[in-house]
Amino acid sequence: MTTTADYTEKIPNNVNLHEDRRLQRALESWQPNFIQWWQTMGPTLPTQDVYLRTAVNVGRDGWAQFGHVAMPEYRWGIFLAERDPGRTVGFGEHKGEPVWAKVPGEYRAELQRLIVIQGDTEPASVEQQRNLGATAPSLYDLRNLFQVNVEEGRHLWAMVYLLHAYFGREGREEAEELLHRNSGSLDSPRILGAFNEETPDWLSFFMFTYFTDRDGKYQLGTLKESAFDPLSRTCEFMLKEEAHHMMVGTTGVDRIVQRTVEVMREHDTDDVGGLGAIPLPVIQKYLNFHYSVSLDLFGGETSTNVANYYTAGLKGRWLEDRRKDDHKLTSDAIMVDALSEDANGELSIGQTEVSALVGLNTDLRREYIADCQGGVKRWNRILEEGGVRQRLKLPHVAFNRKVGAFAAIEATPDGEKIPAQEWERRRGDWLPADVDKTYVRSLMQPVHQRGKIAAWIAPPRNGINGQPFDYDYVHLA
Ligand code: BYC
């Protein structure tokens, strides 16, 4: 395998695609369907070109190049991290055996399912974000949105390559389906809940890239451990691109909080609603929403699916090789969140002990939650440094859940179980209400002039690839 992408081919790749004519032809016949999907479901704002990075190499240094690109001509390609010839399975019942270059028959269905679910999220997010260009707060932000979009498109290519190369006719059919399901569609929605929600404004976009893309980071991290080596290598490279998406979310929220603090101080008021900034309670509500729907993406607290994936070697844990245990977990236990029932049949929020294997979704969710705390800490530092006494916080795990142990109950952000009626009455205090959404949307006026920025967000500290903030990141059509 070469590490450098071959850009002379119709589909840039570092997997020697030209050596497998059948596969090459199959992917080349999927390519126009992808372009058709991009044209109809991708970004709606017409542009001439965008300052984008394109992957050219999977090595450590200089893996990408930057330049102005007409978006439909972006070179979406197939890149796998370099193969480690001595790699062995790191966990489960095959631990220590050589990793697999092909799909073992007995795990075909499970692997295909994992790859389809992963693949389904990528185009979904592009669909969710398709109208955001029209209201971008600056050309810098517009460029970042499009960078995220083209890379999610490339991540779809990554999964489609695996489906075509390793899963035969069924894989090719699934690859078609990935373009037919659509975010929010009533007839054929995307598979996971959060990917059917709207991303109608930039506060939602930054919260999405902070919280939901971060689920992507953690899920890709577990698939990178997979014994199915092509999946592992694909995910390893995807994680490289994912880092930029995290940065967009983290600094996007930073900059909104920063601007809110400035306006609060300037006018000596907490109520910045009429002053063109986003009030902290509204930021908190958006945070509550995006965090809770992202917690759902980890599946149930207990899951036999995940136990089977782990035992089979298909999906590992976050940083598997740093865990100090036998990497089989057959006799280990874990405490997971659960509802407990008292003698009168009253349900309460508690915990229960289960086998470590069936609790693996919980294990991953906990890693994710700890990481999410990092963002809240940094946003609170901005508040503190600005002399503002309010703080943001992550709501309780039982809050607003649709999947898992707490799907059956309602709870406050502090984790107090409440009756459904009270939830209905008070949900607008905790989740974005129509009035909040309308206000946020009213701020979303496009700023498409070079070097200018909307009043509800602070400019970034740094530009992209060493360029200044006022660089001509995007040429509109
Ligand atoms: N919505 O056994 P359980 C990303 C289903 S994001 C709807 O607990 P399991 C990205 C579940 O499928 C990362 N349905 O689930 C981010 C199962 O159905 P079946 C995406 C749900 O299998 C931003 C049933 O409920 N990648 O990359 O242990 C931008 C029982 O559930 C949901 C992956 O997720 C839900 N939220 O775990 C762009 C990795 N949750 O089998 C990209 C691949 C569960 O009974 N997927 N269900 O019909 C997986 O590893 C696992 O399938 C899940 C769920 C973690 C999703």
pLDDT tens-digit readout, 305-357 = 999 999 999 999 999 999 999 999 999 999 999 998 888 888 899 999 999 99
pLDDT band at 119; cut points 50, 70, 90: very high
pLDDT of res. 475: 98
Q: Looking at ligand 1, which residue's alpha carbon is closest to its atom 49?
A: 114
Using the Cα atoms of residue 38, residue 44, residue 48 and residue 53 in order, give the sign of their dihedral: negative
pLDDT (0 to 100) of residue 405? 96
User: Which atom of ligand 1 has the smallest separation from the CA of 218?
Assistant: 13
Which residue has the least CA distance to atom 54 on ligand 1? 299
Atom of ligand 1 nearest to the CA of 364: 55
- Residues 189 and 196: beta-carbon distance below 8 Å: yes
Residue nearest to atom 11 of ligand 1 (CA): 299
Q: Is 90 exceeded by the pLDDT of residue 55?
A: no
pLDDT, one tens digit per residue, over 265-279 is 999 999 999 899 999
The alpha carbon torsion through 84, 87, 90, 96 (nearest 10 deg) reads 180
Position 58 scores a pLDDT of: 77
Report angle CA 269, 456, 135 to the nearest 5 degrees. Answer: 150
pLDDT tens, position by position, 7-46: 778 999 999 999 999 999 999 999 999 999 999 999 999 9
Binning pLDDT at 50, 70 and 90, where does residue 250 land? Answer: very high
Alpha helices by DSSP H, 18-105: 21-41
Q: How far apart are CA 232 and CA 159, in angstroms?
A: 11
The pLDDT-based confidence of 59 (bands split at 50, 70, 90) is confident
What pLDDT is attached to residue 62? 67
The mean predicted confidence, pLDDT, of the chain is 96
**Distance in Å, CA 358 to ligand 1 centroid:** 15
Residues 210, 253 contacting (CB under 8 angstroms)? yes
- The residue whose C-alpha atom lies closest to atom 55 belonging to ligand 1 is 298
Report CA(297)–ligand 1 centroid distance (Å).
Answer: 6
| DSSP state, residue 193 | G
| Angstrom distance (rounded) from CA 62 to CA 316 | 29
- Rounded distance from Cα 152 to ligand 1 centre (Å): 18
Alpha-helical segments (H) within 268-407:
280-296, 304-312, 360-385
Residue pair 13/78 in contact by the 8 Å Cβ criterion: yes
Q: Report residue 397 as tokens.
A: 């795990």
Query: What's the pLDDT tens digit per position in 187-238?
Result: 999 999 999 999 999 999 999 999 999 999 999 999 999 999 999 999 999 9
Give, using CA atoms, the residue closest to atom 19 of ligand 1: 305
